[in-house]
Structure 1
Amino acid sequence: MSEKRLDAKNRWRNVVVAFRMSPEEAQELNVKVSLSGLSKQDYIIQCLLKHEIRVVGGMKVAKKVQVHLDTILEELQTLDESDRGIDVEELLVQLKHVLDILQSDEKGGNHYE
């Protein structure tokens, strides 16, 4: 069993919260978590407790944004070549998340919801 650790506010986190998601919802959550720079646990807790999500800019986040944009570009290029049933709406959701982060960073806010 792993060693017990306290969170940042010196609390034990020993309550498990679980829920089901569709594959599309899980993918959208994974994109948001990846682009936020937080752990999935911290991201979900912040969202559920209606705290503001702050994206910490840096090389790690910039690399993840680049990877997501490269993936979207590849999928869009294959869409041009032949329609293989790529879900364009899913790509647009991912692009919107990236744009939200970039726009909030331009305004000096470094956060998004």
Structure 2
Amino acid sequence: MSAKNLDQKGRHRNKIVAFRVSPEEDALIERAVHLSGLTKQDFIIKRLQNKDIVVQGNPKVFKALKEELKGVMQELQRIDSGAGVDSDLLDTIRLIAITLEGMKKDDEWKQ
């Protein structure tokens, strides 16, 4: 028998929770998870428990931010004079801003 996988608090996670989402919802979830630097499981559990997502700056998070900012830039260049900005793009911009603000506060703490 294989060893049980325990979480950080020593709990055995043996229950499975599954649900269906649309492709658009999946993209939003994936983007938020990617920018958080957490696993999808940890991200969803924290969000369901209304806990703050604390982003620790690391190369993976910086790469995710860079990729998302490239996508935002391309989308903004495609838009003429700010017309036609969809809510998904605005959500992505807000998420990037919140992530960067949190990382800025964390960086100020280190000084």
Give the TM-score band, short-chain normalised. Answer: 0.7 to 0.9
Which residue type is aligned with residue 24 of structure 1?
A: E
Residues 5-61 of structure 1, C-alpha deviations (whole Å, 9 max, x = no match): 111111111101112222222211111111100000010111112222110112211
Alpha-carbon distance in 1 for matches of 2:11, 2:93: 36
Give the superposition deviation at 1:64: 0.5
- Counterparts of 1:49 and 1:107 in 2: how far apart (Å)? 23
1:91 aligns with 89
Per the alignment, residue 57 of structure 1 pairs with 57
Letter in 2 for 1:90: D
Aligned-residue Cα RMSD (Å) equals: 2.3
Identity %: 40
Structure 2 vs 1, CA of residues 73 and 10 (structure 1 numbering), >3 Å: closer, same or farther? same
1:100 match: 98
Output the CA distance in 2 between the equivalents of 1:65 and 1:76. 16
**Residue segments in structure 2 that go unaligned for 5+ positions in a row:** none
Give 3-state SS (helix, strand or coil) of 2:26's partner.
Answer: helix
1:70-105: CA deviation from partner (whole Å, max 9, x where unpaired): 01212222334xx9xx86221111010000111222
**Worse-superposed segment, 61-70 or 19-28:** 19-28
Structure number with greater CO (CA < 8 Å, separation at least 6) is 1
**Structure 1 moving runs of 4+ over 3 Å:** none
Alignment correspondent of 2:16: 16
